[in-house]
Amino acid sequence: MDFLPADIATYAEEHTSPEGELLRRLNRNTHAHVMAPRMLSGHLQGRLLAILSQMIRPRRILEIGTYTGYSALCLAEGLTDDGLLITIDQNEELESFARSYWQQSPLGHKIDFRVGSASDIIPTLNETFDLVFIDADKRNYPQYFNLIFSQLRPGGFILADNVLWSGKVVERVKQSDLDTQSVLAFNQLIQNDPRVENVLLPVRDGIMMIRKR
Ligand SMILES: C[S@@+](CC[C@H](N)C(=O)[O-])C[C@H]1O[C@@H](n2cnc3c(N)ncnc32)[C@H](O)[C@@H]1O
């Protein structure tokens, strides 16, 4: 969901650097051939991820939720020369699709794909991360934050996607709607945590920007 009026959203995209040819093809072919293409970050959010990564210049990035590999390529743009992005997805069927695009990028060798459940894989990662992008199943956002926090360097950043959850965070929540309850719990967890500073950025479906003090 985009919270901006359509003409403002179009204007914002028109005044944002283009995706580049490879990302444009990946975006288009995801929409043509893959289920649930709205999960892909897309042009505006992709450029935001890329520019934030370029500002941070991370050596280690963790991405939770690869999908077709679009946001991984965007985030990799800011990596240092010896940098590495580890990206996790439980859907092994998307691996060859994502890899076929990474292989066409000069950044592809910096992307390390791990297939499996994020809550199983995160505890096995022996790295200190400068930047983490949480973009997988909403029910586990609080768990992912807690799992990764000790491996985030002080001054490091977490970006969590979909924290406005199509606006459901401000509507009456059904008891059966566990996803919205989890997003609400995550946002409250971050807001109450004295170890972090945070900004909820109302871009696209909402991005929680978190900095470890
Ligand atoms: C919103 S998509 C990621 C979109 C991608 N970051 C982008 O912007 O292009 C979410 C992905 O999380 C994956 N996922 C969901 N639950 C997961 C879990 N428990 N462990 C690992 N991956 C999971 C799904 O398979 C899906 O590909």
Taking residue 162's Cβ as centre, other Cβ atoms within 10 Å add up to 23
Q: Which CATH architecture has domain 6-212?
A: 3-Layer(aba) Sandwich (3.40)
Q: Report percent pLDDT > 90 for the chain.
A: 97
Quick check: CB of 39 below 6 Å from ligand 1?
Answer: yes
The mean of the pLDDT values for the chain is 97
The minimum-distance atom of ligand 1 relative to the CA of 40 is 9
Which of 137, 139, 204 gets mutated to test ligand 1 (max ligand atoms within 8 A of its CB)?
A: 137
Question: Among candidates 163, 156, 135, 144, which has minimal Cα distance to 211?
Answer: 156
Give the residue, by CA position, lying nearest to ligand 1 atom 7. 40
Residue-wise pLDDT for 159-177, tens only, equals 999 999 999 999 999 999 9
Query: 70-100: b or e for each residue (b if 16 or more CB lie within 10 Å)?
Result: bbbbbbbbbbeeebbbbbbbbeeebeebbee
31 and 104 Cβ atoms separated by less than 8 Å = no
* Beta pairing class for 129-134 and 207-212: unpaired
CA geometry: angle at 149 spanning 57 and 82, to 5°? 30
Quick check: CB of 71 below 6 Å from ligand 1?
Answer: yes
What tokens does 101 get?
């695009």
The pLDDT-based confidence of 1 (bands split at 50, 70, 90) is low
**Distance of CA 30 from the midpoint of ligand 1 (Å):** 14
Return the domain boundaries, the chain: 6-212
Q: Report percent pLDDT > 70 for the chain.
A: 99
Please report, in angstroms and rounded to a whole number, the separation of the first and last CA atoms in the chain: 31
Residue-wise pLDDT for 55-77, tens only, equals 999 999 999 999 999 999 999 99
Residue-wise pLDDT for 80-137, tens only, equals 999 999 999 999 999 999 999 999 999 999 999 999 999 999 999 999 999 999 999 9
- Predicted local distance difference test score (pLDDT) of residue 2: 65
What tokens does 189 get?
């967890």
- Predicted local distance difference test score (pLDDT) of residue 4: 83
> Is it the case that residue 154 has pLDDT exceeding 70?
yes
- Name every residue whose Cβ is closer than 8 Å to that of residue 93 and which is 6 or more positions away in sequence: none
Instruction: State the average pLDDT over residues 184-191.
Output: 98
> Is it the case that residue 25 has pLDDT exceeding 70?
yes
Q: Does the pTM exceed 0.95?
A: yes
Interface confidence, given as ipTM, is 0.99
